[in-house]
Amino acid sequence: MSKLVAEIICQHHVDEKLRQTMYDLYEIYYEGTSLDIFHEDLNHKNYIIALWDSQKRLQGFSTVAVWEFEFETQARRAVFSGDTIVHRDYWGEQTLPLAWCRLAGQIKAQSPTVPLYWFLIVKGYRTYRYLPLFAHQFYPNYRYPTPPEMQRLMDYLAENKFGPDYDPKTGLIRFPVSRGHLRGSWADIKEGYEDKPDVRYFLDRNPDYGKGDELVCLMELRADNMRSHARRGFIAGMNSEG
C-alpha cells in the first residue's frame, strides 16, 4: 500500500507557502537553481502533482504544462513535465507515476480526437527509464530509429521552447548556465544499473547530464501506446470527471 497520497493542484491555486515548501524540497537534491528560476518555471505550468505523507507533509511533486499548437497543418497538444522530485525515503513509490498517468488521461479527455504527446526533457537516467515503463513506442531509444515525422515534431517543440539552447544534431538542450542538476552523489548511477540497455543508451546520448544537459524525448499519449499500470491509470483519467 502506498505511503503517499497524490493531489492535483491548479497552478494558480498554489500559495506562497506551498511554493516555498516545494523549493525547499527541490533544493535538497538540485543545485544550479534558484528561487527565481524555480518560480519562473512554475509560473508557466498548469498543474502541480503534490505528494503528501500521512502527516500532510510534502514529500514530492511534479509540475505539468499543457500546450496547444498546430504542426504540419494538424491541431495537436503536448504535456510538458517540468521540475520534479520525490524525497529519497519514497523512491520506488508508484504514487507519482500513477497520478501523472491519470492526469494525462484527463487532459486527453478534454480533446479526445486531438493527438496528445508527452514532451519530456531528461537530465537523469531515472526519469528516462519511465519511458519504456510507460510506452510501447517512445523516442529516442536504442530499439529503433526515430521516425522522421516524430523527429520533426521533437525539433519543432524543442526549438520553440528553448531556441538556440537546443541542438537538433545531438537532441540535447544545453543551457549557457545550468538551470538545475542533481547534486553530487544523487546523480550517480545506482550500482548494477550501468549495464541496463536503456541506462546505457541515455548515458551515451547525454554524457554531460550531470552538468544539466537535457535529452529531448517524446511519446504519444494514447491508450494503445501505453503499458500495463500506466495504461490503466490513463484510461481511468479519461473516464473520470476530472
Q: How confident is the model over 135-147, as pLDDT tens digits?
A: 999 999 999 999 9
Cα–Cα distances (Å) from 148 to 43, 48, 140, 145, 153, in that order, read: 33, 33, 12, 9, 9
- Domain total for the chain? 1
Write the CA distances from 192 to 55, 114, 117, 186, 204, integer angstroms: 34, 41, 32, 15, 17
Tens digit of pLDDT for each residue in 95-109?
A: 999 999 999 999 999
| 112 upstream amide cis, omega within 30 of 0 | no
Tell me, what's the pLDDT at 30? 84
Q: What pLDDT is attached to residue 32?
A: 74
**51 part of a folded domain:** no
123 lies in a domain? yes
Residue 54 lies in a domain: no
Under a CB-based contact definition with an 8 Å cutoff, are residues 123 and 209 in contact? yes
Question: Is 226 within the bounds of a domain?
Answer: yes
Asked, for residue 10, whether it belongs to a domain, the answer is: no
Contacts of 203 (CB under 8 A, 6+ apart): 125, 189, 194, 209
pLDDT of residue 150: 98
Whether 212 and 179 have beta carbons less than 8 Å apart is answered as yes
pLDDT of residue 119: 97
User: Tell me: the pLDDT tens digits for 52-91?
Assistant: 999 999 999 999 999 999 999 999 999 998 888 899 899 8
Does the residue 193 lie in any domain? yes
- Answer for the pair 142, 201: CB distance below 8 angstroms, yes or no: yes
C-alpha cell at 171: 537532441
- pLDDT tens, per residue, the chain with 242 residues: 568 999 999 999 999 999 999 999 998 888 877 888 899 889 999 999 999 999 999 999 999 999 999 999 999 999 998 888 899 899 888 999 999 999 999 999 999 999 999 999 998 888 899 999 999 999 999 999 999 999 999 999 999 999 999 999 999 999 886 655 555 555 556 767 788 999 999 999 999 888 889 999 999 999 999 999 999 999 999 998 65
Residue closest to 99 by CA, chosen among 60, 57, 137? 60
* Contact residues for 112 (Cβ-Cβ < 8 A; gap 6+): 238
HSE-CB at 221 with a 13 A cutoff on CA atoms is 32
In a domain, 2, yes or no: no
Number of C-beta neighbours around residue 153 at 10 A: 23
- Kindly state whether residue 36 falls inside one of the protein's structural domains: no
For 91, the domain range is: 64-239
